[in-house]
Amino acid sequence: MIDSVRVSGRPARQDRRGPRTSSPRSSPRPSPRHSPRKEGQPSRAESRDLCSRDLGDEPLLTAEQERALAEAVARGDTEAFHRFVRANLRLVVAIAKHFRGRGLDFDDLIGEGNLGLIRAVRQFDPGVGVRFCTYASYWIKESIRRALNIDGAPIRLPSYMISLLTQWRRAEQEHLRRHGRPPTRDELAEALGLDESRRKMVEQALLTHQFLPGGSVEESMALEEAAADQERPEAPVEAQDQAGVLRGRLGRLDERELAIISRHLGLDDEMPQSLGQIAQGLGITREWARKLEIRALQKLGDRLEGPLLPAPRALAGSAP
């Protein structure tokens, strides 16, 4: 029980109808607030039902209440888990409204968004220093976008990934020109200096987005612009300059962000590690490690792209 963080003195709607356990008209479906799924995720129907019953039952939480609830959730307190979810259902609805008209009914958008909210509640770390709404918004949007992508909606990739995909395509063309045959994926990964995790990232992006041919016009134009940048004669010099800029910007990162970037890119004369290995070493989930890496890359700046990220070992010898 977490009486110290009780956020609403009003009885829930179900109390006005009497306890569920004694009502012969209660719904046969299991309620997420009484049947938490610690293993796996709730169904989309359950997440939609959760929203329709509980939206508006809880007021907004303060930062102090968020921290207390997150700590209680980490201890396995199911009441805290459901209260945390209920207090943020409005956020799901607000975000889902921006995705209307893209192939899913609004109820389905809310159901998908609730899955992201549930994931965010389970993984939120108040020690990171951001409010829960900021953290949860990422996972809510991610969950909705994944569902829309299944129905054919394009997802915009970050600039460094577009640059990496461009280099992959150019390496394919260069190998075909030199050897008269398409390269294997092992040959491409070796030519670009990709570790196993980055190779899998590229392969997944190629499979999902079907770049050149098959990608969206916007993505194809972005790839062509990135390819044109690679053809400029000053590109090698700029790559060296970017390496220096990167080393100077590492001071922007906090301790965990720096650890993730350094280990993933192999900046300390060590072999690059996968996000799974890094997460295990830091005692966090792989998803949270990926989120921290994305945030770190944003701090370092969008212009740090090109050969820098695909070939991290190039920086190892001169990293501070």
Does residue 245 surpass a pLDDT of 50?
yes
pLDDT at 206: 67
Does residue 74 surpass a pLDDT of 70?
yes
Does residue 67 surpass a pLDDT of 80?
yes
Both tokens assigned to 116: 């992201």
pLDDT at 205: 66
Burial, 136: exposed, middle or buried (Cβ in 10 Å; 0-12, 13-18, 19+)? buried
Q: Mean pLDDT lowest for which of 29-33, 52-56, 201-205, 250-254?
A: 29-33
The residue-averaged pLDDT of 290-294 equals: 83
Does residue 17 surpass a pLDDT of 50?
no
The percent of residues above 70 in pLDDT, for the chain, comes to 53
Q: Mean pLDDT lowest for which of 43-57, 126-140, 211-225, 256-270?
A: 211-225
The residue with greater pLDDT, 312 or 219, is 219
pLDDT at 51: 46
pLDDT range class, residue 271, cuts 50, 70, 90: low
* All structural domains of the chain with their residue ranges: 29-150, 156-231, 238-320
Q: Which of 62-71, 104-113, 302-311 has the highest mean pLDDT?
A: 62-71
Does residue 15 surpass a pLDDT of 80?
no
Directed axis angle between helix 185-192 and helix 196-209, to 10°?
120
Query: Cα Rg for the chain, rounded, in angstroms?
Result: 23
* pLDDT tens-place string over residues 130-143: 789 888 888 898 88
Does residue 147 surpass a pLDDT of 70?
yes
pLDDT at 81: 92
Does residue 66 surpass a pLDDT of 80?
yes
The residue-averaged pLDDT of 212-229 equals: 41
pLDDT at 155: 47
pLDDT at 299: 75
pLDDT range class, residue 19, cuts 50, 70, 90: very low
Q: Tell me the CATH number of domain 238-320, given options 1.20.140.10, 1.20.120.140, 1.10.10.10, 1.10.730.10.
A: 1.10.10.10
The residue-averaged pLDDT of 293-301 equals: 75
pLDDT at 57: 56
The residue-averaged pLDDT of 249-266 equals: 76
Burial, 307: exposed, middle or buried (Cβ in 10 Å; 0-12, 13-18, 19+)? buried
Does residue 72 surpass a pLDDT of 90?
yes
Does residue 99 surpass a pLDDT of 70?
yes
Domain 29-150 has CATH 1.20.120.1810: yes
User: Do 54 and 11 meet the contact criterion of CB atoms below 8 Å apart?
Assistant: no
Q: Measured between alpha carbons, how far is 33 from 37 in angstroms, rounded to an integer?
A: 10
pLDDT at 193: 86
Q: Measured between alpha carbons, how far is 8 from 159 in angstroms, rounded to an integer?
A: 44
The residue-averaged pLDDT of 267-276 equals: 66
The residue-averaged pLDDT of 179-186 equals: 86
